[in-house]
Structure 1
Amino acid sequence: MEGKETVYVIGHKNPDTDSVCSAICYARLKEKITGQHYVAKRAGHLNEETQYVMDKLGVQPPEYMKDVRPQVRDIQIRKTPGVSKEISVKTAWTLMKEQNVVTLPVTKENVLEGLITIGDIAKSYFQVYDSTILATAQTRYQNIVDTLEGTVVAGEADGIFKEGKVVIAAANPDMMENYIGTGDIVILGNRYEAQLCAIEMEAGCLIICEGAQVSKTITKVAKEHNCLLITTKFDTYTVARLINQSMPIRFLMKEKEGIVKFQTEDFIEDIQTVMAKLRHRDFPVEDTQGNYVGMISRRNLLGAGKKKLILVDHNERGQAVNGVETAEILEIIDHHRLGAIQTVSPVFFRNQPLGSTATIIYHMYQENQAEIDKNTAALLCSAIISDTLIFKSPTCTSDDVAACMQLAKKAELDIETYGREMFRAGSNLSGKSAKEIFYQDYKKFSVNNVAIGVGQINSMSAEELEKVKPRLAEFIQGVVQDNSAGIVYFLLTDIVSESSEVLCAGNNANAVIYQAFGVEVKDACVKLQGVVSRKKQFFPAIVEALQQ
């Protein structure tokens, strides 16, 4: 389990190659220069291009993190050890006092079987039990020995008291014959005749009080009759009072099926409601495999810590991982326009007008004089190639080109050949649904209180784009009807011809396109020659048109 001081480096909800590779490489850089624990995560599913890069470079993709709200695993979980359901009530009570707890988890091979509380034990003291209760509870003889702080004089204490009753031999031997039965537990003192009589009546166990010595004859006869002899320092009254505490806790515990428990992955705000409705002091916690982890109480929730985040390749709340408002943002590394993420305290914010976030991170490696290994160089190079469309995007700068050239040399990659392989892998659209294609690179923005959604796919095959176009044209209308955005555009970008066909949907979508580019929309579609960048060419023009 990752510790509370882990810092997560994460990109936007529809991760592209730049977002994923930048998260991995920046986490590596932060660990190099701080020695602390940084973990790359992703806020969405990988597209084919990024998966190709991960496979090609032999890199394990970052794990998916759907939500960064505080979880049970982010709070202090009390590591109360689990106990066996066979331990005695007295042992459970002693453990509670030693550990200063009121609840003990009952486990077997680290799997929760039940709970025993101080309330369960208290009720047992006031419950009126008959003399057969120890047999009913299937009490182990060793529990009796431990509870009475006794010593075994004859016999073995590894058996279970299954049949019989507990009796006190207060009468004379003649009368004892009337109430001692086979297998009974008999509590008595240092009276030779009574001891012998009980053994001959086939009692299963004799408890001899006040530390009395047992004669050799009684010991021999007891062995012959398979009768267990136990001596204890306590008097008869005390033994009679204590003996019921030898019952196994399984007789009193709450079974697992009736227990309210939580998982380490549960969100704090979800379990608070459950806790508020119940008067339990403690709740057990399991991991995702069903193993017992520890106990929590309402008090633990007060210390629920926020997850620590570094955002890369985005700075708008609409693109950020779910629950970002509950997290502590430490840094933002980006190359997009300034968005609307608000932070409680000042953060390190680096935003540069470059073609790729990876270029910024490359410069940060250099500034910190941190060595870039071959694998890291290949990841950063892949990100720059992807975001600049092999330097064809208008967002590409001389800094991007220079960085990519240096990284490609270090990684021993041919930029043109490798880039075409990447885009070919990413433009395999034939087996995907319209929804999968639409949302693989879709971002939402807000301009003058108008929600705008802009999706994009890049391909080196005009024929492939033409095949998926009808399906996407139908799907985009449903996106608007779902009220996820007021205006929605989708760019089908042909990398070879350096142009995009734009599908339009929503109120005033066509008029805004005309205002932005001076081109008439026909059949909810328009071709924009020379437009390949959503960030630098398409979206800025849309924003300007809306503001006018």
Structure 2
Amino acid sequence: MNTIYVMGHKNPDTDSICSAIAYSYFKRIISPQNNYSPVRLGPVNNETGFVLDYFKEPVPELIENLYTQLSDIAFDEPVSVKKETPLSDVWNIMGKNITNTVNVVDEEGFFIGLVTVGDIARASLEISEDLSRVAIPLENIERTLDGQILCSYKKTFSGNILVAAMELATLERRLDEKTLIIVDDREDVQISVLKKEVHTLIITGGSKVSDQVLNLAKEKKVNLITVPYHTFTTVKRIGQSIPVQYVAKSQSLITFSLQEEVDDAKEIMLKHKYRQFPILDNKIPVGMLSRRNLLNITGKKVILVDHNEESQSAEGLEQAQILEVIDHHRIGSIETLYPIVFINRPVGCTATIVYGFYRDNGIKPPSSIAGLMCAAIISDTLMFKSPTSSTQDREAAQELATIAGMDIETFSRSMFEAGTSLEGKSAEEIFFTDFKIFDVADFKVGISQVFFYNTERSFHRKALLDFMKQRKFQGSYDMLLLMLTDIINEGSEILYVGNHEEFLSSAFGVPISGGSFYLPKVISRKKQVIPQLLEAIKRS
């Protein structure tokens, strides 16, 4: 199922968060084949936190950027084997899955290494009669040789392999408790080596084991296995019972996580000419990456709500595939490769547009979703006091309030009181409560807005101005503004930094000096500040 992220702008406000949630819910109803997931690009503010808590909706997942990650692309399914798996089984698994590389995992499924066809072929050539450096489970020998264990006392073998192809006296001198010996149907040899209490006796050719031999193996506690193959084939195949962990590479391996950015993965893969690279999630193999997986990548799929400017969206937006834009702001700098759904309407809130989709499709939203959309409209229109407020906003809010079973005035008071508290906040936190960036001509302008409702403005203007000066320099802004908006008295004090007072004076028709000025009846950044300021800059 495709995941499509529905997101508002950076430093999200209530409309940005609630519209993303509400639109995701709507899209899941009309397009159930996709997973529409609401996400946020920053921390929720006090007001939004109050709204989400009031309607018992979880805070959307935080997404830090939109750079294409390995989790966004199609990669090969991993083939993994347990570390005890015999080489013969690994070879068969490779052939069945048509792969040259297999992950090796421990009992909990955690990645410990990988093995290639070349590794197995090389190991087959290098295997000798001395297997003292490995520990082979007896079950591996039984499975590799298609044998049958008649006696089992020692669970693993580690030692020397001998074939009974010499004089008995010579053979006996070379036997000890660490020897695995391969014998054909000669019973006298079988009895002799059992008396020497060897580690394991393998009888080849499918020969019947006498009661004397069987009883002696039990008495001496010697592993006894019969196999259907002749001696030559048995010798040739037994090396394939070695556990794959002894052949696998485990040092200096190149692995990736699902969160790895594709551009970084490409750069690493250019330096290492391996065919495939394991992709791990919490140390568990979840995929294999090859160069062909990096062709024709489309990136994350996103729907933008409550914004349409790249500077207000997530980093890496240029790598994402934008499917839709649902907004009520000016049309800015977003570019797409293909035609998309782009809905931009002159209303006071994106949630008003979103609710229109529900209404047009005959879908009644759940009470919690209706409450979120109503809260967003109240917030963005300042309970219909903002000049951006429209008849559609008011009508939508009334209908949504009825569905949610809420009283608009009572709820508004509680929401604004919760949202305008600045107690304990630093100058940085106050400034970035609701901050947006605008690019016009060669100017970069940042405008923040903070609302007050039934509270004194007890912050320190000097601390705010000092922070703004520092931020202007760090972010290479031409001008930074902070709107301190009084909801009750319907006016805004503007703090500013920058050497362009002439633009401010021209935009608002007031004398500018001292780092601040007051604009009565100005409460909308979108309609009463941004257009006037940007127009003044364009006239310069």
State if a TM-score over 0.5 links the two structures: yes
Overall identity of the aligned pairs, in %: 38
Q: What residue ranges of structure 1 are gaps of 5+ in the alignment?
A: none
Which residue of structure 1 aligns with residue 122 of structure 2?
A: 123
- 1:523 maps to 2:514: yes
- Amino acid of the structure 1 residue aligned with 2:175: I
Which residue of structure 1 aligns with residue 152 of structure 2?
A: 156
Q: Residues 431-510 of structure 1 correspond to what in structure 2 (within 5 A)?
A: 431-461=424-454, 463-464=456-457, 466-508=458-500, 510=501
Which residue of structure 2 aligns with residue 258 of structure 1?
A: 252
Which residue of structure 2 aligns with residue 223 of structure 1?
A: 218
Give the structure-1-normalised TM-score.
Answer: 0.94
Q: Residue 272 of structure 2: which of 256, 271, 278 is its match?
A: 278
Q: CA deviation at 1:382?
A: 0.2
Q: Residue 142 of structure 2: which of 100, 122, 145 is its match?
A: 145
- Whole-Å Cα distance in 2 between the matches of residues 165 and 239 of structure 1? 15
Q: CA deviation at 1:292?
A: 3.1
Spell out, residue by residue over 1:301-327, the C-alpha distance to the aligned partner (whole angstroms, 9 max, x if none): 225342221111011111112211111
Q: Residue 20 of structure 2: which of 16, 19, 23 is its match?
A: 23
- Amino acid of the structure 2 residue aligned with 1:441: D
- Amino acid of the structure 1 residue aligned with 2:371: A
- Whole-Å Cα distance in 2 between the matches of residues 303 and 247 of structure 1? 41
- 1:182 maps to 2:177: yes
Which residue of structure 1 aligns with residue 420 of structure 2?
A: 427
Which residue of structure 1 aligns with residue 241 of structure 2?
A: 246
Which residue of structure 2 aligns with residue 8 of structure 1?
A: 5
- Whole-Å Cα distance in 2 between the matches of residues 506 and 448 of structure 1? 17
- Secondary structure at 2:176 match in 1: coil
Q: Residue 344 of structure 1: which of 321, 325, 337 is its match?
A: 337
Preserved contact between residue 445 and residue 452 of structure 1 (Cα < 8 Å): yes
- Secondary structure at 2:518 match in 1: strand
Spell out, residue by residue over 1:270-311, the C-alpha distance to the aligned partner (whole angstroms, 9 max, x if none): 211112211222222222x44332322222222534222111
Which residue of structure 2 aligns with residue 100 of structure 1?
A: 98
Q: Residue 397 of structure 1: which of 387, 390, 393 is its match?
A: 390
Q: CA deviation at 1:211?
A: 2.2
Preserved contact between residue 140 and residue 158 of structure 1 (Cα < 8 Å): no
- Whole-Å Cα distance in 2 between the matches of residues 422 and 308 of structure 1? 33
- Whole-Å Cα distance in 2 between the matches of residues 155 and 232 of structure 1? 13
Q: CA deviation at 1:385?
A: 0.4
Which residue of structure 1 aligns with residue 161 of structure 2?
A: 166
Q: CA deviation at 1:386?
A: 0.3
Give the structure-2-normalised TM-score.
Answer: 0.95
Spell out, residue by residue over 1:497-518, the C-alpha distance to the aligned partner (whole angstroms, 9 max, x if none): 111111111231x111111112
Q: CA deviation at 1:387?
A: 0.3
- Secondary structure at 1:6 match in 2: strand
- Whole-Å Cα distance in 2 between the matches of residues 370 and 401 of structure 1? 20
Which residue of structure 2 aligns with residue 376 of structure 1?
A: 369
| Count of aligned pairs between the two proteins | 537
- Amino acid of the structure 2 residue aligned with 1:31: R
- 1:267 maps to 2:261: yes
Q: CA deviation at 1:20?
A: 0.7
Q: Residues 287-302 of structure 1 correspond to what in structure 2 (within 5 A)?
A: 287=281, 289-302=282-295
Q: CA deviation at 1:536?
A: 0.1
Preserved contact between residue 355 and residue 384 of structure 1 (Cα < 8 Å): yes
Q: What residue ranges of structure 2 are gaps of 5+ in the alignment?
A: none
- Amino acid of the structure 1 residue aligned with 2:398: M
- Amino acid of the structure 2 residue aligned with 1:463: E
Q: Residue 527 of structure 2: which of 518, 522, 536 is its match?
A: 536
Q: CA deviation at 1:158?
A: 6.5
Preserved contact between residue 173 and residue 193 of structure 1 (Cα < 8 Å): no
Spell out, residue by residue over 1:357-403, the C-alpha distance to the aligned partner (whole angstroms, 9 max, x if none): 11111222111111122112111110000001111111111221121
Which residue of structure 1 aligns with residue 84 of structure 2?
A: 86
Preserved contact between residue 472 and residue 479 of structure 2 (Cα < 8 Å): yes
